[in-house]
């Protein structure tokens, strides 16, 4: 993956596959600590301690179409390359949180890239699910919560083209002033 936002899109797919109805993505940048952290939290079916142990081994998968799982190992590698780490917490029936920490200024840190494209792709493809996207840059933050949008939209789906266009613009306008270095 050439952009961390693509890893985010991919890790969120695990949440969707696990039957999550709410997925929260947080991107937090702290220049003083030289740290970038990305978490994907879901309320999906979660994993047992045994399963979680296996996921910590590379290439574990419950897929039937191929023998290896790549998503988590790739995200872990992207974090470890920068002197960071990846941690997963999960509870059966409760949900899962994947947390990756990066050294912000490390030369091997992939750029965050088009995170807006990731968030809009997730909403477009899964209008029946709810997403929260929270980006924080040195204490200043912006949050998008599709549950709030739904309150306004009522029976109009989130993936209605004009609604999606609005969401894209809303994200762009609100993320830009954060002046992310990631």
Q: Which is nearer to another protein, 32 or 65 (CB)?
A: 65
Residues 104-143 that bind another protein (CB under 8 A): 114, 117-118, 120-121, 124-126
- Residue from 5, 14, 82, 135 that binds Mg ion (CB under 5 A)? 14
d(CA 137, CA 34): 12
When asked if residue 57 is in the footprint of another protein (CB under 8 A), the reply is no
Query: Taking CB under 6 A as the rule, does residue 38 contact ligand ATP?
Result: no
Residue 119 burial (10 A CB sphere; 0-12, 13-18, 19+):
buried
With contact defined as beta carbons under 8 Å apart, do 34 and 104 qualify? yes
Closest CA to 21 of 121, 178, 146: 146
Binder among 36, 38, 44, 112 for ligand ATP (CB under 6 A)? 44
How far apart CA 90 and CA 96 sit, in angstroms, is 4
Q: Can you tell me the distance from the alpha carbon of 39 to that of 14, in angstroms, rounded to the nearest whole number?
A: 13
Pair of tokens at residue 149: 């949008």
Does 63 engage in binding with another protein (CB under 8 A)? Answer: yes
Select from 2-10, 50-58, 99-107, 133-141 the region that touches another protein (CB under 8 A). Answer: 2-10
Q: Which is nearer to Mg ion, 53 or 160 (CB)?
A: 53
Q: Which two tokens stand for residue 6?
A: 């693509």
If binding is defined by CB under 8 A, does position 77 make contact with another protein? no
Q: Report what 15 binds from another protein, ligand ATP, Mg ion, none; CB cut-off 5-8 Å by kind.
A: ligand ATP
- By rule CB under 5 A, what string of x and - marks binding of each residue 117-136 to Mg ion? --------------------
For the chain, the straight-line distance linking the first and the last C-alpha, in angstroms and rounded, comes to 15
**8 A C-beta contact, residue 12 and residue 23:** yes
Residues in touch with ligand ATP (CB under 6 A): 14-15, 18, 42, 44-47, 55, 60-63, 69-73, 96
């Amino acid at each position: 993956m050439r952009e961390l936002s693509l890893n985010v899109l991919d890790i969120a797919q695990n949440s969707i596959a696990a039957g999550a109805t709410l997925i929260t993505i947080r991107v937090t940048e702290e220049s003083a600590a030289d740290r970038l952290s990305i978490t994907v939290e879901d309320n999906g079916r979660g994993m047992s301690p045994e399963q979680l142990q296996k996921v910590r081994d590379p290439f574990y998968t419950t897929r039937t179409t191929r023998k290896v799982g790549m998503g988590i190992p790739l995200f872990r590698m992207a974090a470890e390359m920068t002197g960071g780490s990846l941690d997963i917490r999960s509870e059966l029936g409760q949900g899962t949180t994947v947390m990756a920490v990066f050294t912000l200024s490390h030369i091997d840190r992939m750029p965050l890239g088009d995170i807006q494209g990731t968030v809009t792709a997730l909403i477009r493809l899964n209008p029946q699910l709810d997403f929260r996207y929270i980006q924080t840059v040195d204490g200043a933050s912006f949050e998008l919560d599709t549950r709030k949008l739904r309150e306004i939209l009522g029976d109009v789906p989130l993936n209605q083209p004009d609604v999606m266009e609005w969401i894209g613009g809303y994200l762009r306008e609100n993320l830009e002033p954060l002046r992310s270095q990631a």
